[in-house]
């Protein structure tokens, strides 16, 4: 933070002592106008900074959504690429029991009976889904 220049202090002191000369009055008015312009510039700069932060936050949210979409599409490509997974499978996602649960899909054929199964043999079914109960 900058301090006010000495001439302004001197002029303010003379104003408060009621001994300000007419030309000093003009000098003080000019100094006040300059200070007001600086305050306005800083307000404008602060407004620009706030807008920039808002834009950066929006860009971050768009980036996160785009990255999630890329992951979805990559998973879809992996599912549809021959040799990387069964050509056709049920596709039900294993429930996320913990945040560490690997989100894999059922590898059994579509319309299979009984519980769903991962490629590692883990089995699950939805209690409310009558057709998936074993």
Residues in contact with Zn ion, total (CB under 5 A)?
A: 5
Question: Under 8 Å CB-to-CB from 20, ≥6 apart: which residues?
Answer: 11, 14, 28
User: Would you give the binding string for Zn ion spanning residues 39-78, x where CB under 5 A is met?
Assistant: ----------------------------------------
User: Integer distance in angstroms from the first to the last C-alpha of the chain?
Assistant: 74
Q: Which stretch binds Zn ion (CB under 5 A): 15-23, 66-74, 76-84, 86-94?
A: 86-94
**Interatomic CA distance for residues 16 and 82, integer angstroms:** 88
Q: Where are the alpha helices (DSSP H) in the chain?
A: 6-16, 22-80
| Shortest separation between residue 71's beta carbon and Zn ion, angstroms | 22
Binding residues for Zn ion (CB under 5 A): 90, 92, 106, 108, 116
């Amino acid at each position: 933070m900058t301090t006010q220049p000495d001439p302004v202090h001197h002029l303010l002191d003379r104003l408060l002592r009621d001994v300000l000369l007419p030309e000093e009055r003009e000098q003080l008015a000019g100094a006040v106008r300059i200070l007001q312009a600086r305050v306005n510039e800083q307000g404008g700069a602060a407004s620009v900074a706030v807008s920039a932060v808002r834009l950066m936050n929006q860009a971050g949210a768009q980036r996160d959504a785009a990255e999630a979409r890329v992951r979805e599409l990559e998973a879809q490509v992996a599912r549809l690429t021959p040799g990387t997974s069964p050509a056709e499978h049920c596709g039900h996602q294993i429930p996320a029991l913990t945040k560490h649960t690997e989100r894999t899909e059922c590898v059994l054929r579509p319309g299979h009976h009984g519980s769903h199964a991962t490629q590692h043999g883990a089995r699950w079914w939805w209690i409310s889904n009558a057709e998936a109960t074993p």
